């Protein structure tokens, strides 16, 4: 990778099929993509699905965040995320529909973008516990461009709908927070 590497954070989520396996596969594909290196992965969290009004119930999501170093321009990184989603069975349709995989570009350095198909920082980053708490695992002192410190955003966020995923053996994937890949 070139020396011009940007630190980026992505959100990962899934609630169909085998969500944990989907996220693991996405992380492997990201780490094996030219111009991308996965540096760390947060704990995995279980969260209730966001639902459209009058929508049928959905399975809970498994969510995580990953810290990347990338030499890819922001649009190319977005295209890589969309490609991986598609390869792992994601079909786009109704907003807030169940998903085999959702990869969101949360942050790209300290840069801000407002493009037709991309908003960075992610437009809803400040509202979602299932995004903020995994980010805290990776960078507790993070400052979100245009929104302020992660700690301030966390104080305003309801955590009642999320829990750290655990099995009898401990956290899923037997990871400590954060996992170095």
Choosing from 102, 128, 136, 137, the catalytic residue is 102
Is residue 31 part of the annotated active site? The answer reads no
Is residue 104 part of the annotated active site? The answer reads yes
Stretch (H or E) spanning 70? strand 61-70
Tokens 């980053």 correspond to: 125
Name the DSSP class of 142: -
Choosing from 104, 128, 136, 137, the catalytic residue is 104
Is residue 156 part of the annotated active site? The answer reads no
Choosing from 29, 90, 128, 136, the catalytic residue is 90
Helix axes 74-87, 19-31, angle to 10 degrees: 140
Choosing from 29, 46, 80, 99, the catalytic residue is 99
Tell me how far apart the terminal alpha carbons of the chain are, to the nearest angstrom: 16
Residues classed as catalytic:
90, 99, 102, 104
């Amino acid at each position: 990778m070139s020396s011009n590497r940007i630190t980026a954070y992505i959100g990962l989520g899934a609630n169909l099929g085998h969500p944990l396996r989907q996220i693991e596969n996405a992380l492997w594909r990201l780490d094996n993509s030219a111009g991308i290196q996965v540096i760390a992965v947060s704990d995995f969290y279980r969260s209730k699905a966001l639902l459209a009004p009058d929508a049928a119930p959905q399975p809970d999501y498994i969510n995580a965040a990953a810290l990347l170093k990338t030499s890819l321009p922001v649009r190319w990184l977005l295209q890589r995320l969309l490609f991986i989603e598609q390869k792992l069975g994601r079909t786009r349709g109704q907003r807030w529909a169940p998903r085999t995989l959702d990869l969101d570009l949360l942050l790209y350095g300290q840069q801000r973008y407002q493009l037709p198909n991309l908003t960075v920082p992610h437009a809803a980053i400040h509202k979602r516990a299932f995004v903020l708490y995994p980010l805290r695992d990776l960078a507790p002192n993070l400052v979100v461009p245009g929104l302020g410190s992660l700690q301030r955003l966390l104080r305003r966020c309801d955590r009642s709908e999320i829990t750290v995923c655990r099995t009898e053996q401990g956290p899923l994937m037997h990871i400590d927070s954060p996992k170095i890949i």
